[in-house]
Amino acid sequence: VLPFFQWAARLGYVVACVSNTTESYRDHILPATGLSPMIHFGIFSKVEGKEKPGAAFDLLLERGQALLPDLEPWQVLHVGDSRRKDAEGAAAHGFHAALLDRSRPAYSGHPQGGGEEGTQGIVAVASLDDVRLRLEST
């Protein structure tokens, strides 16, 4: 996880954490992982009163647009491990969605090598490294 966040930070991506958790995740777990300095903002459902797959994504776009006023939904990539709450929820809001499924073969840069496009524009990936490789190849 950390190498992906470091890569995204080096390239200037705006990174948000959207989680159906409490402030304890924000205040204790993220800092312990070393990820906090690379996260521009977070949406934690128990703090905000908004959960995935619904209103948390509305708030994600709103806060993203506070940083990048011209941000459009199609410019957002959400990566998560729940098909319904993460991938389908993000896709329903017009975002790109990557479904993290560690049982998949790694992305090789070739269509048969993993990372295939699924329903509703959801891409299944085996790791955050797969996400990085796909972003670098676009």
Q: Calculate what percentage of the chain has a pLDDT beyond 90.
A: 85
How many structural domains compose the chain?
Answer: 1
**Phi and psi at residue 6, to the nearest 5°:** -65, -40
Label residue 113 by pLDDT band (50, 70, 90). Answer: very low
- In this predicted structure, what is the pLDDT of residue 116? 53
pLDDT digits (tens, 9 = 90+) for 54-85: 999 999 999 999 999 999 999 999 999 999 99
- What's residue 61's pLDDT? 98
Indicate whether 109 pLDDT > 80: no
Tokens of 110: 């070739």
Return the ∠ at Cα 95 (arms to 85 and 1), rounded to 5°.
65
Alpha carbons 125 and 79: distance in angstroms, whole number: 9
Q: Which residue range(s) make up the domain with 52?
A: 2-136
**Does residue 45 sit in helix, strand or coil?**
helix
Average pLDDT, the chain: 91
Q: Can you give the CATH number for the domain in which 32 is found?
A: 3.40.50.1000
Query: What pLDDT does 79 receive?
Result: 98
